[in-house]
Chain A
């Protein structure tokens, strides 16, 4: 069964450093998403991406964040200058086009900012 994959599974970085989290969505999916879950808190929407542009973003997704689909298979989330409060589990998801299509989630990348 096709699945969303994410690398790395765990990333440790120092405050102020740039990080890139990588995702490979399911191959025939066209909508892509990033969510995050700070320990003990809700899963929060960050951004959705369709047709090579951001469709929607949350207030969390400020200028420090960016997304890119550099080739036909990868979808990346970049945090330019990490802060301690960026420590969280980051989930990538993808879905087919259409209102009701479910989002398939990857296993997540745990980002720890020290």
Chain B
């Protein structure tokens, strides 16, 4: 089974500051990794995903994440945040190629990012 831990439940930052949201996962098999964002009263929107290849992946809205297999981490970063980035961010994992899971995502508990002016 897979599990995901998001190390920070809340992250307050000032506008234009850099931010890192931390995610660690546990799995005995290869995995695919995802970050989703949830704005108030909306569904989950995919920010970025790691399937294979380059460990640095770029997503929408200027976000990027780095897959670190040895540290089983997939931290999300943005060099300069905006007020509009205020939302809840979820890290998720699913079995990778060759797995028998039919796409089941396992989520972390979420990190609320609050960007202050």
Contacts and interface: CB of A to CB of B under 8 A. Distances in A.
Interface residues of B, number: 26
A48 interface: yes
Contacts of B101: 56
Interface stretch (B20-28, B39-47, B66-74, B79-87): B39-47
B105 A106 contact: no
Contacts of B42: 107
Contact of A42 (B36, B46, B110): B110
Contacts of A31: 102-103
Given A100-B32, A100-B51, A95 B45 contact: no
Given A100-B32, A107-B43, A35 B105 contact: yes
Contacts of A108: 43
Interface in A47-105: 48, 50, 55-56, 58, 91, 93, 95, 99-105
Interface in B11-57: 32, 34, 36, 41-46, 49, 51
A76 to B, nearest CB: 17
Given A42-B109, A42-B110, A103 B103 contact: yes
A106 B42 CA distance: 8
Contacts of A107: 41-43
Contacts of A102: 34, 46, 49
14 contacts: A31-B102, A31-B103, A42-B108, A43-B90, A48-B103, A56-B104, A91-B44, A99-B32, A99-B51, A99-B103, A100-B32, A102-B49, A105-B43, A107-B43
Given A31-B102, A43-B44, A58-B104, 13 more contacts: A31-B103, A35-B107, A42-B107, A42-B110, A43-B90, A48-B104, A56-B102, A91-B44, A99-B32, A99-B99, A100-B51, A103-B46, A107-B43
Interface of B: 32, 34, 36, 41-46, 49, 51, 90, 92, 96-97, 99, 101-110
